[in-house]
């Protein structure tokens, strides 16, 4: 199994996941050219992709969905409410899923699950393949019991750590945007991510990737320090390898 966060943050999100048989792109919030460039950087040409999955319709997750799906004849796995909320109505090959109902792409078992965010039908995903479980959850205002349930047993966990509350308070964002980010359908703060890691995370991940960091309201070192402190406060479980996904470059490729 191989996974690489090609880019993650307020300006665009995309993640690559593959087995020997199946290659998936989860979200396409960067330009098509940039996604292709980053795939080439990690030795995974876009021409070999098998499918594109969409978590929700916000721009930083769908920028190049049309372009990539059209250019590479990719099926787009998406929920019907999210498809209906897209800002365009391109005739693509849509494969519809429903949150809570698993499906298979090649040799990858995919389970979408509902997360609290201000879009039509936002989902997180787990992927199971070759004895490995990967959890990918960003764009959520808080960690629900359902999210906790789905993230148990993951060997790789990609988790939002969007903002530092103090930096958000002094940022130039309008007040209504700050309220949105802080709300229960907004984004997970460093503190909220750390609370999950301290109290509800099952301790089984080999790799933890902090993702969707705000460029204006967070710093990688703050997110990493907060997560490290939470992991260090746990008793009896080995700390995972910790990475921070960046907006400007892909993470190293994780191989399990």
47: in domain: yes
d(CA 162, CA 186): 10
Query: What pLDDT is stored for residue 216 in this prediction?
Result: 95
230: in domain: yes
User: Residue 233: which pLDDT band, with cuts at 50, 70 and 90?
Assistant: confident
Per residue in 74-90, is it b (16+ CB within 10 Å) or e — as a string?
A: bebbbbebbbebbeeee
183: in domain: yes
Domain span holding position 240: 2-248
Q: Give the list of residues 6+ apart from residue 137 with CB closer than 8 angstroms, or none.
A: 115, 124, 125, 147, 150, 151, 158, 159, 160
Longest Cα–Cα distance of the chain, Å, equals 52
255: in domain: no
136: in domain: yes
Q: Which residue has the tokens 């969007």?
A: 162
User: Residue 130: which pLDDT band, with cuts at 50, 70 and 90?
Assistant: confident
CA dihedral of residues 181, 184, 189, 195 (deg, nearest 10): 170
The mean pLDDT value for 85-97 works out to 93
99: in domain: yes
253: in domain: no
For residue 253, is pLDDT > 90?
yes
For residue 56, is pLDDT > 80?
yes
- Provide the mean pLDDT of the chain: 96
Contact 18, 2 (CB under 8 A): yes
Query: What pLDDT is stored for residue 90 in this prediction?
Result: 82
Residue-wise pLDDT tens digits, 179-207: 999 999 999 999 999 999 999 999 999 99
User: Burial, 253: exposed, middle or buried (Cβ in 10 Å; 0-12, 13-18, 19+)?
Assistant: middle
For residue 2, is pLDDT > 80?
yes
Query: What pLDDT is stored for residue 161 in this prediction?
Result: 98
Q: Are strands 108-114 and 156-160 parallel, antiparallel or unpaired?
A: unpaired
Number of domains in the chain: 1
256: in domain: no
Helix segments in the chain, DSSP class H: 32-41, 59-62, 65-71, 80-85, 145-151, 165-170, 175-182, 190-199, 220-232
For residue 236, is pLDDT > 80?
no
d(CA 124, CA 121): 10
The mean pLDDT value for 210-227 works out to 97
Of the candidates 215, 181, 159, the one whose C-alpha atom is nearest the C-alpha of residue 15 is 159
Q: Are strands 94-97 and 76-79 parallel, antiparallel or unpaired?
A: parallel
Q: What is the CATH number of the domain that holds 189?
A: 3.60.15.10
């Amino acid at each position: 199994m191989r996974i690489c966060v090609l880019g993650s943050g307020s300006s665009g999100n995309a993640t690559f996941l593959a087995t020997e048989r199946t290659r998936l792109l989860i979200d396409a919030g960067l330009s098509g050219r940039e996604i292709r460039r980053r795939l080439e950087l990690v030795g995974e040409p876009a021409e070999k992709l098998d499918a594109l999955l969409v978590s929700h319709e916000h721009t930083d997750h769908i920028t190049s969905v049309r372009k990539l799906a059209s250019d590479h004849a990719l099926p787009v796995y998406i929920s019907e409410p999210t498809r209906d909320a897209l800002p365009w109505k391109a005739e693509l090959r849509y494969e519809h899923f429903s949150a809570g109902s698993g499906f298979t792409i090649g040799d990858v078992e995919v389970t979408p699950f509902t997360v609290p965010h201000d879009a039509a039908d936002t989902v997180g995903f787990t992927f199971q393949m070759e004895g490995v479980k990967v959890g990918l959850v960003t764009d959520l205002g808080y960690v629900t019991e359902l999210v906790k349930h789905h993230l148990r047993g993951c060997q790789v966990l990609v988790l939002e750590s969007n903002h530092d509350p103090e930096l958000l308070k002094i940022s130039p964002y309008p007040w209504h945007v700050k309220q949105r980010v802080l709300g229960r359908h907004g984004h997970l703060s460093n503190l909220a991510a750390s609370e999950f890691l301290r109290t509800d995370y099952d301790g089984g991940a080999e790799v933890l990737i902090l993702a969707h960091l705000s460029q204006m309201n967070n710093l990688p070192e703050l997110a990493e320090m907060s997560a490290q402190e939470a992991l260090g406060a746990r008793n009896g479980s080995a700390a995972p390898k910790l990475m921070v996904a960046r907006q400007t470059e892909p993470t190293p490729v994780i191989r399990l």
